[in-house]
Amino acid sequence: MAEISTRESYGKTLVELGKENKDIVVLDADLAKSTMTMYFAQEFPQRFFDCGLAEQNMIGIAAGLAATGKIPFASTFAIFASCRCFDQARMSLGQQHLNIKVVSTHSGVSVGEDGASHHAIEDLALYGSLVGIRIIVPADAIETAAAIRFAASNDGPFYIRLSRPKSPVIFPDTYKFVPDKAIVLKEGNDATIIAMGLMVSRALEAAEMLRKEKINCRVINIHTFKPLDKQTILQAAKETGAIVTVEEHLLHGGLGSEVSRMLAGEKPTPVEFVGINDVYTKSGTPEELLKSNGLTAENIAMSVKKVIKRK
């Protein structure tokens, strides 16, 4: 299976959009080679703004550009886009509801060797607490390109969470992004695995492992974290009676929290959680850190077996 990083797909898609729409501008915080906005900078230097190590100011400049009718894409590492820029995001994206697209790369612990200071494991909780922002976490490079195109053509604030390492390509080139609608990637009635981002490919791997043990799992790709697809989740809860959520994020305030809140009010269902459990992880390779935090296909499969016993 081919592997492409979501950040690379983002950078190349920006260039395509730049050719199609002269109102698209791109801002970065001295990380263009890492966020891959360097492609846009090379093609359209007059529409690219390197704001230096001043991420808060970057959001402020993006707000000004949005107020004049431009479509700004503001990019930096997820840790800076969330923890460092939260006040600016609250004021300009949440309260003013400006047409700003914040696209972060290097999310979660798969950033790897950069260490705990750069592991964005709180960003979805932070942006999820803001009013009126659509949050998208693509599962692969194909979905990333489609999501970026959707954001560019739809008014309003977005937070799009991308990753550093290469990851398996799940979708075909013909994939069409449907906003706010989760995708059932695999059918099954014994339990449901709900995953997003890099964890979707691992959820599929876990489902295949379980199939060999005659456990048939439904696998759902939640590409839109906010708003969640209530209908698809409730249908899965009704038809399978057991849920496992999988995320490269803290359990508190992440996918598991939001799915559980939804189910508690509509369809109480046994839920198990695969995510980061109140710990800041030390430096290591992406695979080492994912494994040490239990973000593996094997751990997902174990959680499925556990939740089935609670049905």
Enzyme catalytic residues: 55
Residues in a beta bridge with 71: 24
DSSP run (H or E) holding 19: helix 6-20
Going by C-alpha positions, the residue among 109, 311, 64 that lies closest to residue 199 is 109
Contacts of 268 (CB under 8 A, 6+ apart): none
The first and second tokens of residue 125, run together, are 């909780």
Nearest to 29 by CA among 136, 133, 103, 89: 103
Taking each helix axis from N to C end, the angle separating 297-308 and 199-211, rounded to the nearest 10 degrees, works out to 60
Which tokens in the block code for residue 5? 């990083």
- 3-6 long-range contacts, CB within 8 A, separation 24+: 3/166, 3/167, 3/168, 3/169, 4/140, 4/141, 4/166, 4/167, 4/169, 5/141, 5/163, 5/164, 5/165, 5/166, 5/167, 6/105, 6/138, 6/140, 6/141, 6/144, 6/162, 6/163, 6/167
Q: How many residues does the chain have?
A: 311
Q: How far, CA to CA in Å, does 281 sit from each of 74, 110, 188, 200, 202?
A: 27, 11, 34, 21, 20
